[in-house]
Amino acid sequence: MPKKILVIEDDKFLMKIINKKLSSENYDVIEALDGKQGLDIVKNQKIDLILLDLILPEMDGFEVLANLKSDPELSRIPVIVISNLGEASQIEKALKMGADDYLIKAHFTPAEIVERIEKILKK
């Protein structure tokens, strides 16, 4: 069974690229274009890993993260934050809130993101 990855990202173009890359690596990709939609999906189906953008409409990434981590069931799902916010304070905040990894979009390619996903899923 392919692993299910939920991508919460509001930029449709970036979503398309990451979806293509992940699908080619045999992942089952589920798309959510805002935070609220993303949270609804996690609650209704089994997800293996979440790629989470931070600046999102409806509910921002930090809020999504807080919601996930306050639920004992959902808090087990690994979360990789992908964002263009690169300040140390933000990275620290996300990691403290329970994100497993933090990648600045401009500094990582989709291939490198796949590597990080593999590493975390192997654990």
Partner 1 sequence: MFWKKKKQNNVNHNIGDLTITDYLIDGLLIFDRDNKVVLANPRVEKFFEVRQEDILDKSILHLTRFRSFKPLVTFLGGGIKECYRQDLEIRENFILQVTSVSVMSEGEKISTLVILHDVTRERLSDKMKSEFVTLAAHQLRTPTSAVKWSLQSLMSGDIGDLNTEQKKAIETAYITNDRVISLVRDLLDLAQIEEGKYISKTELTDMEEIIQSIIEENKNISDNRRLRVEFKRSQTPLPKLMLDKEKIKIAIGNIFDNALRYTLAGGKITIACFGSKKQVQVEIKDTGLGIPFNEQERVFTKFFRAENIRRMDTEGTGLGLYIAKNIIEAHEGRIWFDSEENKGTTFYFTIPVKEKFGQFLRGDFY
Q: Candidates 26, 111, 122, 123: give the one binding partner 1 (CB under 8 A).
A: 111
Residue 20 binding partner 1, by CB under 8 A: yes
Q: Where are the alpha helices (DSSP H) in the chain?
A: 12-24, 35-44, 61-69, 88-96, 110-122
Residue 26 binding partner 1, by CB under 8 A: no
Distance CA 81, CA 101 (A): 6
Kindly state the tokens that stand for 77: 């799902």
Q: Candidates 45, 84, 95, 118: give the one binding partner 1 (CB under 8 A).
A: 84
Q: Which residues bind partner 1 (CB under 8 A)?
A: 11, 13-14, 17-18, 20-21, 24, 84-89, 92, 104-107, 109-111
